[in-house]
């Protein structure tokens, strides 16, 4: 399927995201402060135009391709690791500009781990990244549909699946599988290792990567499973009709990476 043949109707049918698209594009909710109480609303600041590709303005070069998006991310991470942050796009003017529209230049699928905040470790600001986080980067329909939304609706040129060192979700899934947990649904009654609630979904999502890491027979199983999970997740995303059409056209690149908790550095693993 080519990008040219992928209509909006096709996208909504494939992703089942009619409600998602309405919610994310409209963000309907409480009325703005100016509408609910005009006396409390400050006047909007005067801002310059930031409608260029990539959401950047002023002296910053626009992002027009997957390669440029990846370069922007890695330059920001190098600043973070070297403790030379510039904290771009975090001013009141930037906030006002992106309140009107957004043009993020990359999508980051990362873990929920509190030590891995993408905007900080890539040294970017408001409106620069579309960030989606789940434990162990486990995919489901909502996660995949959100990534598809970024590619199809916002024309984001880069998707990064970001695993990280000493991932707690991977370690917990390994422990659950080794101690008799990890059954489908994670709701085995009684006995050691049963996961409460929907934690079993996370274990099942990570099981293929853990089994692949075990087959390697050497090295740290948690580290290997994290790397295997990044690779498998990249491969799974590439099977999405929405994302594969964008990749085939050259408009999108899907890559995998690893974040080092100790050094602060991001290492590219797959798809570069």
pLDDT tens, the chain, 272 aa long: 444 445 555 554 544 443 333 333 343 333 333 333 434 444 444 434 433 334 444 456 789 899 999 999 999 999 999 999 999 999 999 999 999 999 999 999 999 999 999 999 999 999 999 999 999 999 999 999 999 999 999 999 999 999 999 999 999 999 999 887 544 444 443 334 467 788 999 999 999 999 999 999 889 999 999 999 999 999 999 999 999 999 999 999 999 999 999 999 999 998 77
Q: How far is CA 218 from CA 177, 203, 224, 246, 256, in A?
A: 18, 22, 9, 37, 22
What pLDDT does residue 62 have?
Answer: 84
Number of domains in the chain: 1
CATH number at 26 reads 3.40.1050.10
- 21-58 tens-digit pLDDT: 333 334 333 333 333 343 444 444 443 443 333 444 44
- CA torsion 227-229-234-236 (nearest 10°) is 160
pTM (2 d.p.): 0.76
What pLDDT does residue 7 have?
Answer: 56
Domain coverage including residue 23: 3-270
Tokens 């959401």 identify what position? 55
What pLDDT does residue 12 have?
Answer: 47
What radius of gyration do the chain's Cα atoms show?
20
Burial environment of residue 2 by CB neighbours within 10 A (0 to 12, 13 to 18, 19 or more)? exposed
Q: For residue 108, give the H/E element and its range.
A: strand 106-110
Measured CA to CA, the distance from residue 73 to residue 122 in angstroms comes to 6
Coil vs helix vs strand at 2: coil
């Amino acid at each position: 399927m080519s990008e040219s043949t992928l209509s909006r109707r096709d996208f909504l049918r494939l992703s089942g995201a009619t409600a998602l698209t309405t919610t994310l594009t409209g963000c309907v909710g409480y009325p703005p402060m100016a509408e609910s109480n005009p006396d409390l609303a400050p006047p909007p600041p005067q801002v310059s135009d930031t409608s260029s590709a990539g959401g950047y303005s002023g002296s910053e070069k626009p992002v027009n391709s997957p390669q440029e998006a990846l370069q922007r991310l890695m330059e920001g991470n190098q600043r973070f690791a070297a403790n030379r942050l510039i904290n771009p796009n975090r001013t009141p003017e930037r906030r006002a500009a992106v309140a009107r529209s957004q043009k993020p230049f990359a999508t980051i699928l990362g873990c929920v781990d509190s030590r891995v905040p993408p905007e900080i470790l890539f040294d970017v600001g408001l409106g620069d990244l579309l960030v989606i986080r789940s434990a162990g980067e486990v995919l489901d329909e909502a996660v995949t549909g959100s990534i598809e939304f970024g590619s199809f609706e916002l024309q984001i040129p880069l998707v990064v699946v970001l695993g990280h060192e000493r991932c707690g979700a991977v370690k917990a899934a390994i422990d659950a599988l080794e101690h008799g947990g990890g059954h489908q649904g994670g709701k085995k009654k009684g006995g050691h290792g049963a996961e409460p609630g929907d934690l079993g979904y996370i274990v099942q999502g990570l099981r293929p990567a853990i089994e692949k890491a075990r087959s390697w027979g050497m090295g740290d199983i948690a580290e290997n499973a994290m790397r295997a999970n990044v690779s498998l997740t990249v491969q799974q995303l590439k099977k999405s009709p929405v994302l594969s059409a964008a990749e085939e056209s050259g408009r999108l690149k899907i890559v995998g990476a690893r974040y080092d908790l100790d050094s602060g550095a991001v290492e590219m693993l797959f798809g570069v």
